Chain A
Amino acid sequence: DAGVIQSPRHEVTEMGQEVTLRCKPISGHDYLFWYRQTMMRGLELLIYFNNNVPIDDSGMPEDRFSAKMPNASFSTLKIQPSEPRDSAVYFCASTPQGRETQYFGPGTRLLVL
């Protein structure tokens, strides 16, 4: 079975540009999580969805960040406008209903210059 798929794997952009990160969860998984990982703050949950509905977005840093899940097989995390402090590795993870194990995607390494 394919695992969680994320794209792009690497993104380099300039400050002020819009960045869109994409995630395809494992088929049949009902929960989808977006994390950000930095050396300073570690692994932080940004937002998670259950059955395509956002449940907890308390970790979204500010209005420049937005996330959507238009269907069960696709989610996006958008940063507009991007800033250098957004540079991090962004992970997407999914979990099947009734379970707690989170399966992480390979991550997107974002560098904002």
Chain B
Amino acid sequence: QQPVQSPQAVILREGEDAVINCSSSKALYSVHWYRQKHGEAPVFLMILLKGGEQKGHDKISASFNEKKQQSSLYLTASQLSYSGTYFCGTRGGSNYKLTFGKGTLLTVNP
């Protein structure tokens, strides 16, 4: 079952913050976040492996609420380089199969 991402698109000015949500109808083993720029391959951002885990990378961080079967990606003080489509990928068990959401298009303007 494909996870649901929200919002579908967001437009920011440089320096503003954004939150992208990812919800699943199934229990999750892990949540992956990727960013894809137009015409390029998805690039790994981070993985959250345990319920309640939070991770941070520069000014991008994420949380994983296992009970609610959802994850959120937080982008603070956005930079122009943050523009792209953000995908969450969910893994439901020991199988290595990832199911990706449809993506959130983030545009950061000067």
Contact = CB atoms under 8 A, between A and B. Distances in A.
A97 to B, nearest CB: 10
A101 B47 contact: yes
B87 A106 contact: no
A106 B100 CA distance: 18
Contacts of B49: 100
Interface stretch (B35-43, B52-60, B68-76): B35-43
Interface residues of A, number: 20
Contact of B103 (A31, A42, A55): A42
Contact of A105 (B41, B91, B98, B102): B41
A104 B96 contact: no
SS class of chain B's interface: helix, strand, loop or mixed? loop
Nearest to A92: B41
Contacts, number: 49
Interface in A78-103: 91, 95, 100-103
26 contacts: A31-B96, A33-B96, A42-B2, A42-B87, A43-B42, A43-B89, A43-B103, A44-B100, A45-B97, A48-B97, A55-B95, A55-B96, A56-B95, A56-B96, A91-B41, A95-B96, A100-B32, A100-B49, A100-B96, A101-B32, A101-B44, A101-B47, A103-B44, A104-B41, A106-B41, A107-B41
Interface of A: 31, 33, 42-45, 48, 50, 55-56, 91, 95, 100-107
Interface of B: 2, 30, 32, 40-44, 47, 49, 87, 89, 91, 95-103
